[in-house]
Amino acid sequence: MPYRRLPNTDSARIRAMKAALEKGKSIHPFELAYSQSLYVKLKSFYPTFEAAVKEQRSAMKLQAANNKHYLKLTKKAQMYISHFIQVLNLAVLREELPEKIRPMYGLKLKDKKVPSLATEEEIIAIGKKIIVGEETRTRQGGTPLLNPKIAMVKLHFERFLDAHHHQKILKENSARAHDKVAKLRAESDKLILEIWNEVEKHFNKFEAQTKRNHCKKYGLVYVYRKNEISKAKDVLQMSA
């Protein structure tokens, strides 16, 4: 015996409500299989829920589409910052610059390695420090480091910062849209359950299969259990 399965995705919720709403529009109120009070609720709630789901999907799509460009700029900034620090350390190793210069760039005095640039926060913190350090040193008469010049590091770092800010806004939009849909789901599930219960009760006078056929027109979904599917296949094979 197939059992009724309530929607467990937003797409399924929208299909269920849309089917019930269409029935409400096309059938006389006295013939409708669920109450007019539920129809009024559904008519008001359905467009709100559908719009919220569309907004969420649009926000996630924009975030995903921008992410590829953002990752490219992130890697570029990482590379330029890393290369600049490597050039700085080589200059110290060749004794072209004193070791004590490292703290000016936000680096540890004895640390000859490039610090971690694995996170966005690390890129921002270290990027700002080396730009300020190099600009301060050259203003004091120091010879600029080359390959890469700090101007190129700054260019790619600022592009990354702009992209980071934009991506942050897109993430916040996605999170806000997600929270909005999440809050509406409980109301959606409650409304669908009430409608489906009334529809099934309305068609209780019919035998099981006829009842399910009528209910399906209102968006109700019935599925077989796995063992029931296997038994149905066995019967078909035996009758073939």
**pLDDT at position 229:** 59
- Cβ distance 74 to 158 under 8 Å? no
Sequence-separated (6 or more) residues with CB below 8 Å from residue 119: none
Q: Which of 140, 120, 130 is nearest to 89 (CA)?
A: 130
Task: Find the helix or strand (DSSP H, E) in which 22 lies.
Answer: helix 10-26
* Residue 236: per-residue pLDDT: 44
127 SS3 class:
helix
Residue for token pair 């919220």: 52
Alpha carbon distance 18, 7 (integer Å): 13
Q: Is 7 helix (H, G, I), strand (E, B) or coil?
A: coil
Q: Which two tokens stand for residue 55?
A: 């907004």
Q: Is the dihedral of CA 46, 47, 52, 54 positive or negative?
A: positive
Rounded to the nearest 5 degrees, what angle is found at the Cα of 39, between the Cα atoms of 37 and 44?
100
Query: At 3, which helix (H) or strand (E)?
Result: strand 3-4
CB atoms closer than 10 angstroms to residue 192: 21
Sign of CA dihedral 221, 227, 233, 236: negative
In tens, the pLDDT along 78-111 reads 999 999 999 999 999 999 999 999 999 999 999 9
Share of the chain above pLDDT 70, in %: 95
Q: What is the pLDDT of residue 160?
A: 98
Regions of the chain where pLDDT drops below 50: 232, 234-236, 238-239
The pLDDT score that the predictor gives to residue 225 is 83
pTM: 0.80
If phi over 0 gives left and psi between -120 and 50 gives alpha, with beta otherwise, what is residue 88?
A: alpha
